[in-house]
Amino acid sequence: MSDITVVEVTQGWTVDVTDNTGRTVTVDATPTYALQVATPGIQGAAGPQGPIGPAGGAVFVYDRNGVPASTWIIAHNLNRLVHVTVVLDSGEEITADVAQGSPNTCTITFAQPTSGKALVG
């Protein structure tokens, strides 16, 4: 068997191969793809009902009533970690630093005293 040396790999998926006698052959190295389509089998029986999940959708609105503060401590009593959206009195939605102290409280901290509402859900 002859020794083979790869001389060049071109950008279009071909490889030039030269053996020890000087013969060069261009080999098409284009990748091929196979697609296997599965057909669905027979549907099995339904499994047992899972446990009832926690209540969702409750939203707590915290309103500063026009009184600015740098820290808002909110007791929402939703008994879970929450998502907080802060809306200024002007209606502008802003990003703030929110810390969840417990499943029933969160603290929002601002760089300067701020007034508006927190939608906690």
Higher pLDDT, 74 or 35: 74
Q: What are 49-64's pLDDT values in tens digits?
A: 989 877 667 888 999 9
Residue 107, C-beta contacts closer than 8 angstroms, at least 6 positions apart: 71, 72, 73, 74, 98, 99, 101
Q: pLDDT value at position 11?
A: 56
Pair 58, 78: CB distance under 8 Å: yes
Element housing 110 (H / E): strand 105-114
pLDDT at 73 over 60: yes
Supply the pTM of this predicted model. 0.54
Q: Is the pLDDT of residue 111 over 70?
A: yes
Which stretch, 52-56, 80-84, 107-111, has highest mean pLDDT? 107-111
**Domains of the chain, residue spans:** 1-33, 60-120
Given a cut of 70, whether residue 1 has pLDDT beyond it is no
Instruction: Count other C-beta atoms under 10 Å from residue 50's C-beta.
Output: 6
Q: What tokens does 8 get? A: 């060049």
* Gyration radius of the chain over CA positions: 33
